[in-house]
Homo-oligomer: A and B are copies of this chain.
Amino acid sequence: MQVYEAPLRDMKFVLHELHADKTLGDDGFGNLEALEEFTPDLVDAVLEEAAKVAQEVLLPLNRSGDIEGCTLENGVVRTPKGFKEAYDLFREGGWCALASAPEWGGQGLPEQVNKMTEEMICSANLSFSLYPGLTHGGTTAIEGYASEELKQFYLPKMVSGQWSGTMCLTEPHCGTDLGMLRTKAVPQGADEFGGSYKISGAKIFISAGEQDLTENIVHLVLARLPDAPRGVKGISLFLVPKYLPKEDGTPGEANGVSVAAIEHKMGLKASATCQLNFDESVGWLVGTPNKGMEAMFTMMNTERVSVGVQGLGVGEAAYQSAVWYAKDRLQGRSLSGVKNPDGPADPIIVHPDVRRMLMTMRAYNEGCRAISGWVSRALDAEKFSTDPDVKQRASDFVALMTPVVKALFTDLGFESANLAVQCYGGHGYIAESGVEQYVRDARIAMIYEGTNGIQALDLVGRKLPAHMGRYLRSFFHPVSQFIEAHKEDETFGKMIEGLEKAFGALQLSTATIAEKGMKDPEEAAAAATEYTRLVGLVAMGYCFARAALIARARLAEGAEDAAFYKAKITTARFYFDRILPQATAAFLAIKSGKASMMELEDEAF
């Protein structure tokens, strides 16, 4: 059964305690003057309201949406029953506008709060999350690159959720390699937005490309100008509305954008994934001609962290649904003596192998949430810090961690979904249980917004070498300081020794990749996936070690919710016992180099 209660206690721990703890050395990303009004009380109130929306409005539509899916009839896409009403509630409640700038009608909440809210929405209903989610990616690009006129005209409507947004990048023959794209943009002469273009081409995999939730849709489309250079250096970004707005701002005539098909997908069935045809559709340039990739990456990078959070969201829902079943299902007896003497059997949560699965999911979720909180604090500091050093360090950290968050969280979210199915046994394979949907839904997050393999290449190929390795220092520095300070801790010394070992493996791997990769880029690429995992494992380990130390201090102070802090310490121990050892395997794989991976002739496959 799909059950979900927002993990507010853990979210608050991550937001208010984990990274801000002065005794352990805080991350320096807090205390931003611009965010002073967002007091802990206000933040908590927002999270509690978000939890209600997720639990009461979105969760009940998750399974029905999966069963019903979206339909396309006579060019019209219909979302599943209840989605329109839920979207209206969501929009009217101001949830579309949460993360956007007050200038455009947004609420300007800190990213720390937004990312936690996103997690809840994704836990409750991943398909639904894409409708407002893509709009937010679109507004980011418009805000950063479009002309003042376009901003003034489009942003308020998009920020409020009255109109939605899409990202139209992929074409049938090109996804990762956008240099090959063929969609054309032909200039039409000047107008009040600085000149329009006629856009023609076919785009695929467009999430929310068409739907029945908003009165207009604003497509952000990558296309080529007639004189554009070949490859990625000849791509421009255009804003193409579904309906051309009238002067009064209401949607006018149709703009030549049609839906060729909606995809039949493994999951995410309530999200309409469209094939769109642009037939001389009128559009406006966003940013500089031939610099579309830059604007696209702004949008994409924001989205990548969010897609990571999607993985976490599904992982948390899967965990909770598995816990519910493990307490409910009676089967077998505990090896340490009967636990439910009045029942015909014990609940399966007594069995070590079921515990192994539950604890694994729990550790993944708490570990990812801790990183999510850390990265969102950096996102806020990057934007709002008045200290140029902090700003720089925050920006470095975000750049470094974006591919890690995307790849790690989505891999682990998928693994959690699978573990949930395993906890349910045969019942998990039946659609009625609701948990196999988590597997199907979570699977896409490892692919879209750049496959996890692409994330890994971004990390080793772009982020590691940038500025002579400066990005990495924003991560290595706090970790090594922490290890130095606490490796002789009397309770957790062994845990921190484990972290030190994994961190040592990461440092060595970094040196190996830098050295070998300099001579042969294939060597770096061959190590990329395992290296990305290794960074993620060390980051989670660091967060868990901090969490354990903080929990111990709170317990010593006689904190009220001792159960929470005790569980945090146990989960941290489990992480170090059972999950961090994967770091050694990753290190050995990295060390082995590219030879056996690359030597087989293509024909031998």
> Which of A112-120, A127-135, A185-193, A563-571 is the contact stretch?
A563-571
User: Given the complex, which residues of B lie within 8 Å of A600, measured CB to CB?
Assistant: 355, 359, 567, 570-571
Interface contact A577-B592, CB-CB below 8 Å:
yes
- CA A358 to CA B602, docked complex, whole Å: 11
Interface contact B578-A596, CB-CB below 8 Å:
yes
Q: Smallest distance from the beta carbon of A170 to chain B beta carbons, Å?
A: 7
> Which of A88-96, A217-225, A518-526 is the contact stretch?
A518-526
Q: Tell whether A344 is near chain B: CB-to-CB under 8 Å.
A: yes
**Which interface residue of A349, A526, A529 has the most chain B CB atoms within 10 A?**
A526
- CA A264 to CA B134, docked complex, whole Å: 32
Interface contact A597-B355, CB-CB below 8 Å:
yes
- CA A573 to CA B597, docked complex, whole Å: 9
Interface contact B175-A352, CB-CB below 8 Å:
no
Q: Tell whether A556 is near chain B: CB-to-CB under 8 Å.
A: no
Interface contact B352-A594, CB-CB below 8 Å:
yes
Q: Tell whether A180 is near chain B: CB-to-CB under 8 Å.
A: yes
- CA A429 to CA B410, docked complex, whole Å: 15
Interface contact B430-A265, CB-CB below 8 Å:
yes
A-B contacts, 27 listed (Cβ < 8 Å):
A175-B425, A175-B427, A177-B330, A263-B430, A264-B432, A265-B429, A327-B605, A335-B525, A336-B521, A336-B522, A349-B602, A349-B605, A355-B597, A356-B526, A414-B418, A421-B447, A429-B444, A439-B443, A563-B603, A567-B600, A567-B604, A570-B596, A570-B604, A574-B597, A581-B584, A581-B586, A581-B589
Q: A349-B605, A439-B439, A581-B588 are in contact. List 18 more A-B contacts (CB 8 A).
A: A174-B331, A177-B332, A265-B431, A265-B436, A335-B521, A349-B602, A352-B525, A352-B594, A354-B453, A357-B453, A422-B446, A422-B453, A425-B451, A570-B604, A577-B597, A581-B584, A581-B587, A585-B585
Tell me the dominant secondary structure on chain A's binding face.
Answer: helix
Q: Tell whether A507 is near chain B: CB-to-CB under 8 Å.
A: no
Q: Smallest distance from the beta carbon of A536 to chain B beta carbons, Å?
A: 15
Q: A425-B451, A439-B443 are in contact. Are A352 and B430 (CB under 8 A)?
A: no
Interface contact B585-A581, CB-CB below 8 Å:
yes
- CA A159 to CA B139, docked complex, whole Å: 66
Contact with B along A180-214 (1 / 0, CB 8 A): 10000000000000000000000011000000000
Interface contact B264-A353, CB-CB below 8 Å:
no
Interface contact A177-B345, CB-CB below 8 Å:
yes
Q: Tell whether A485 is near chain B: CB-to-CB under 8 Å.
A: no
Q: Tell whether A362 is near chain B: CB-to-CB under 8 Å.
A: yes
Interface contact B597-A452, CB-CB below 8 Å:
no
Contact with B along A322-357 (1 / 0, CB 8 A): 010011001110011000000011010101111111
Contacting A425 at CB < 8 Å: which of B176, B352, B573, B601?
B176
Q: How many copies does the complex hold?
A: 2
- CA A265 to CA B600, docked complex, whole Å: 39
- CA A330 to CA B356, docked complex, whole Å: 42
User: Given the complex, which residues of B lie within 8 Å of A267, measured CB to CB?
Assistant: 429
Q: Tell whether A595 is near chain B: CB-to-CB under 8 Å.
A: yes
**Which interface residue of A330, A347, A520, A600 has the most chain B CB atoms within 10 A?**
A600
Contact with B along A521-549 (1 / 0, CB 8 A): 11001101100000000000000000000
- CA A170 to CA B427, docked complex, whole Å: 11
Q: Smallest distance from the beta carbon of A494 to chain B beta carbons, Å?
A: 11
Interface contact A598-B355, CB-CB below 8 Å:
yes
Q: Tell whether A84 is near chain B: CB-to-CB under 8 Å.
A: no
Contact with B along A269-290 (1 / 0, CB 8 A): 0000000000000000000000
Q: Smallest distance from the beta carbon of A358 to chain B beta carbons, Å?
A: 6
User: Given the complex, which residues of B lie within 8 Å of A439, measured CB to CB?
Assistant: 266, 439, 443
Q: Tell whether A428 is near chain B: CB-to-CB under 8 Å.
A: yes
Q: Tell whether A599 is near chain B: CB-to-CB under 8 Å.
A: yes
Interface contact A176-B422, CB-CB below 8 Å:
no
Q: Tell whether A250 is near chain B: CB-to-CB under 8 Å.
A: no
- CA A439 to CA B418, docked complex, whole Å: 11
Q: A332-B177, A604-B567 are in contact. Are A447 and B428 (CB under 8 A)?
A: yes
Interface contact B578-A589, CB-CB below 8 Å:
yes
- CA A503 to CA B521, docked complex, whole Å: 34
Interface contact A327-B602, CB-CB below 8 Å:
yes
Of residues 437 to 452 in A, which have CB atoms within 8 Å of B's CB atoms? 439-440, 443-444, 446-448, 451-452
Q: Tell whether A426 is near chain B: CB-to-CB under 8 Å.
A: yes
Of residues 461 to 490 in A, which have CB atoms within 8 Å of B's CB atoms? none
- CA A584 to CA B421, docked complex, whole Å: 27
Q: Tell whether A64 is near chain B: CB-to-CB under 8 Å.
A: no
Q: Tell whether A582 is near chain B: CB-to-CB under 8 Å.
A: yes
Q: Tell whether A456 is near chain B: CB-to-CB under 8 Å.
A: yes
Of residues 73 to 106 in A, which have CB atoms within 8 Å of B's CB atoms? none
Interface contact B426-A170, CB-CB below 8 Å:
yes
Interface contact B180-A345, CB-CB below 8 Å:
yes
Contacting A453 at CB < 8 Å: which of B177, B353, B585, B593?
B353
With both beta carbons as reference points, the residue of chain B lying nearest to A331 in the complex is identified as B177
- CA A103 to CA B200, docked complex, whole Å: 71
User: Given the complex, which residues of B lie within 8 Å of A266, measured CB to CB?
Assistant: 421, 429-431, 436, 439-440
- CA A343 to CA B348, docked complex, whole Å: 57
Q: Tell whether A50 is near chain B: CB-to-CB under 8 Å.
A: no
With both beta carbons as reference points, the residue of chain B lying nearest to A335 in the complex is identified as B521
Of residues 387 to 424 in A, which have CB atoms within 8 Å of B's CB atoms? 414, 418, 421-422
Q: Tell whether A121 is near chain B: CB-to-CB under 8 Å.
A: no
Q: A582-B585, A605-B327 are in contact. Are A425 and B443 (CB under 8 A)?
A: no
